[in-house]
Amino acid sequence: MSDHDDISRRRVLGMSAAAGGLAMLGGAGPLLAEKRRRTPAQILGPFYPVVKPLDQDADLTLVVGRSGRAAGQVIHVMGRVLDSKGRPLPGIRIEIWQANTYGRYTHPSDINPAPLDPNFEGFAVLASDSEGRYRFKTVKPGAYPADATGAMRPPHIHFDIAGKVNRVVTQMYFAGEPLNDTDRLLQTAGAKELLIVKLQPPTQDLEADSLLANWDIVLDEG
């Protein structure tokens, strides 16, 4: 056997051993998986609820004890909470708060002249399930004046996601909103595209006139 043949044989055996090792570890896929980028942080904002409502369930379109439904475009927001390796994170606490369809927060410091909606309190608390999934029903928030200059903030929903190790406060925006291009907070966010979600038609199990937003949240570790 020539030296060249011996080297080729050792190379093939080495490749076979490596492949066998990967098979024992469950295949090459997980080892070569692309690291997920962490969801960028955003400011808490001035309208985090001072007094949190008693009704904190995952349906913001209805308020316990009232017969009406919140005004506006109903949307279902759902997704997963993952770590940077793409593994689902169960039991993650998620707080959400937002303006109503008119762009008004249920907050004593909001002096926006837009009307309040008695059937919308704009706050909820939920937790990711055993597979890291979360889901809530709300209305698409309206834009609102950011300051005395009249500059407008685009529609967005605030999130406070708290894991055992990491916490991120952030905001989710909607694709196609012209105000996204001039919003200072969004434009200065790292990887701002990770904060923008596209509204899609509903699945068959949802209201025909509702819209669907799929948005995954990524923490470093969980």
Active site residues: 105, 144, 153, 156, 158
Report d(CA 66, CA 101) in Å as an integer.
Answer: 18
- Beta bridge pairs of residue 86: none
Return phi, psi of residue 47, to 5°. Answer: -115, 25
Which positions ≥6 away from 161 have C-beta within 8 Å?
Answer: 39, 81, 92, 93, 94, 167, 168, 169, 170, 217, 219
